[in-house]
Amino acid sequence: MIPRYYQLEAVESVYDSWQHHPDQNVCINLFTALGKSVIIGMLAKDFNDAGGRCIVLAHVKELLEQNADKIRKCGVDDIGIYSAGLGRRDKFNKVLVAGIQSVYDKVVEIGRFDLAIIDEAHTIGTDEDGRYRQFIAAQQKINPNFRVVGLTATPFRMKSGPICSVEGPLHRICYSFPVRKAIDEGFLSPLISKAGQGRPEHIDDMHIRNGEFAPEEVDAMFTAEGKVKAAMDDVFRQADGRKSILVFGSSIKHCNQICEYIDAKADVTLYGGNSGASYRMVTGDTESGYRNDAVDDFRAGKYRFLVNMGVYTTGFDAPNVDCVVLLRPTASPGLYVQMVGRGVRISEGKHNCLVLDYGDNVVRHGPVDMVKGEQPKGSKGGGTAPVKECPQCNTYNHAARRICEQCGYVWPAIEHKHTTTASDANVLSGGVPVLCRYPVAEVYYSLHKKEGKTPSICVEYNVGPGKYIKEWVCAFHEGYARVKAEKWWNARCDEECPLPVSESEADYDTTLKLCAFVSKPTEIEVDESERFPKITKYYGLTRKNIDAAMAERSEQDEANLLVPIVPDDDIPF
C-alpha cells in the first residue's frame, strides 16, 4: 500500500512534534475520507517495528474492523481485537484494536502500552471519569512515557470548543490538511448545494437540550402534515439523475414516513434508473446482519435511497453516495460535518455530491470546510452568522467577506442582520467549482436599473440555443466594484477605460455604445455550482483600438448590437 504525500506528512508531524515537545500528546485533523486509517496503520507499524506496544481505540465496531484491515495491509501481523460487539477478547498482541467501551476498565487484564491511537478523537469527553480519560490515566500510572495520538475530522466539541488544551489528554494539533486543497487535488469529491423547497420554518426557535435540539420538538416539526411530501417532492426534483442517495431523518417515525413516500413513487426508474427495491431503512434498532446487507447492496447500486436515523455518521464507507439529504437539523457542528462528509469519497463516474439541506444546517454552522465549533464560555465573539446574503445579487458569501464575490457589492462597516435561507448557502466556502466551457455565439449589453440601486451593465453571453450566461459590470459604482469594471474593460480594449463613475443618462448611453466595440470572447468557462452561474475564464479575447472600431461601424450597426435582454423580474437584483 502506497501512502499519499499528506499521510506521510501527518506521520512525520507526530514525530517532529515529539522531538520538540516530548511531553505533549498530539492530534491529526483530516476530513472524512482522507484515509485516517492508513495513518493509524503507519503509526502502529512504526511502533511495532521499534519493539513498542500500541493500542488503537474507537467507539464503533465498524471503525475497529476498518482500522484492523489497514494495519494488516501496512505490514503488521501480530494484531488482536478486543471488542464485545465483534465477539473478540484478544489480550496480548503487539498491536491491539479495541472498543473503548470494552477496555476502558480492563488495563490490568490487557497490560501496558506505549502508544494509544484514538480514532474519532472528538468523542473524548471532558469529564475526568470519562472512559477515554480513565484508560489514559491508568496507562500513565504504569508507563510514564505513555503517549496518545488522536485523529479526527472535527477537532472541537459542541459546548467546550477545541478538543486540544493544556489540561486535556490531547494538547495540540500537529497536522491539518485543508478540505479545499484535498478537493482541488482530486482526493475528495466536490460538494455542491442547490436551493430547495419544503423546509420547515422557525427551526432555530426549538429548545436545546444536552447540546442538541429537543428530539420531540424536531419530530413534531418534521413529521407535521404535508412536511414529508413537500420535502421529498423537492428531493426527487433536485436529485433527478442521482443514483445513490443517503438520507438523514430526524426520528424513526420520520424515517418511516420518508420510506412510505419513496415507496409511493412506484416508477423508480424515472428518477434514477436503478432497478430492484427503491430504498432501505436503517436505525439504531436495526439488526446488525440486515444493516450490513443493506450497506453492501447500497454500494452495489441495488437500490437508490438509504434512509437512516443516527447510524451512518461515522464508520460508513460508500464512495458511490452522490447525494446527501439532511432532513433533520443539528445543533452540533461535528455531527453536521460528519453527515455531509459521507458524500466526499471519490468513485468512478461520480463528478460531485449534491447536498440538500432542509434543516438550516449550512447557515447555522457555515461552509463545511470553515466550521470551527462553538467557543467555550467566556471567550470573545459576537455570534455572527457564518454566511451572509448579498443584498444586491442574493449570493451567499462567507461572513468574513467585505466584498461580494459575485457582483462586487461592498458591505458597510457595520452590517445589519437579515434573514437567510439554508438551502441556498454553499456547503463549501465560496462553493466548489463545477466548471463547464461554452462557445460564445454573441454578446449583448443592456443597462439594468432598479429603484434605489446604482445601475449596472448586464452582459449576456449566448452560449447555445436558448442558453444565456450573464454577468454584471458595475461601471457606475465606486471603490472595488469600479476597479473590477476597469479590469474587465482593460482586458478587452487597449484604450483607457471610459466607464464613468458619475450617474447620468448621457453617461449610461455612451457607456453602452462603447461596450459594443470591446472584444468578444470565443469561449467562456462557467462555474455552475453557484446559485447564479459565474464566469471564471474568458478565451479568445483580443485588445482593440476603440477609435478605429467606431470609425468602421455605422450608427445603425451600433444600434443592432444593443439588443435588449430579459425583463427585470428575471434579473437577480
Question: H-helix or E-strand containing 435?
Answer: strand 435-439
| 189-235 pLDDT tens trace | 999 886 556 667 778 788 888 878 999 999 999 999 899 999 999 89
Same domain, residue pair 257 and 400: yes
Query: Looking at the domain assignment, is residue 182 inside a domain?
Result: no
Lowest mean per-residue pLDDT among 87-91, 248-252, 349-353, 504-508: 504-508
- The b/e string for 503-516 (b: 16+ C-beta within 10 A; e otherwise) is eeeebbeebbbbbb
Residues 138, 107 share a domain: yes
Full-model pTM: 0.65
Is the same domain home to 155 and 16? Answer: yes
Task: Assess whether 195 and 89 both reside in one domain.
Answer: no
Question: Is the same domain home to 122 and 250?
Answer: no
Q: Does 40 reside within a domain?
A: yes
Residue 474 falls inside a structural domain: yes
Q: Domain total for the chain? A: 3
Whether residue 78 sits in one domain with residue 13:
yes
Range of the domain at 149: 5-177
- Contacts of 508 by beta carbon, 8 Å cutoff, 6+ apart: 447, 455, 476
The CATH number given to whatever domain includes residue 114 is 3.40.50.300
Instruction: Tell me, yes or no, whether 303 and 255 share the same domain.
Output: yes
**What is the pLDDT at residue 425?**
66
User: CB 461: neighbour CB atoms within 10 A?
Assistant: 24
- Each residue of 155-168: pLDDT tens digit? 877 555 788 888 88
Let me know whether 257 and 152 are in one domain. no
Quick one: 459 and 543 in the same domain? yes
Q: How far apart are CA 544 and CA 467, in angstroms?
A: 27
The candidate with the shortest Cα–Cα distance to 500, out of 526, 477, 533, 530, is 477
How far CA 89 is from CA of 37, 47, 52, 79, 108, in Å, comes to 22, 22, 21, 12, 14
Last residue of a domain, one of 143, 177, 211: 177
Q: Which residues pair with 365 in a beta bridge?
A: none
Percent of the chain with pLDDT over 70: 79
Within-domain flag for 197: yes
Residue 136 in domain: yes
Residue 474's SS3 state is coil
Asked if the structure places residue 277 within a domain, the reply is: yes
E-strand spans in 69-207?
79-83, 88-89, 95-99, 115-119, 147-152, 156-157, 161-162, 172-176, 191-193
Domain end, chosen from 177, 203, 223, is at 177
Measured between alpha carbons, how far is residue 380 from residues 93, 154, 158, 268, 550 in Å?
48, 21, 16, 51, 59
Residues 211 and 64 in one domain: no
The number of beta carbons lying within 10 Å of the beta carbon of residue 197 is 13
Query: Which residues are registered as beta bridge partners of 172?
Result: 26
212 lies in the same domain as 348: yes
430 lies in a domain?
no
Residue 185 lies in a domain: no
pLDDT tens-digit map of 395-427: 445 555 566 655 667 766 533 222 223 355 677
On whether both 360 and 420 belong to a single domain, the answer is yes
Q: What mean pLDDT, rounded, does the chain reach?
A: 81
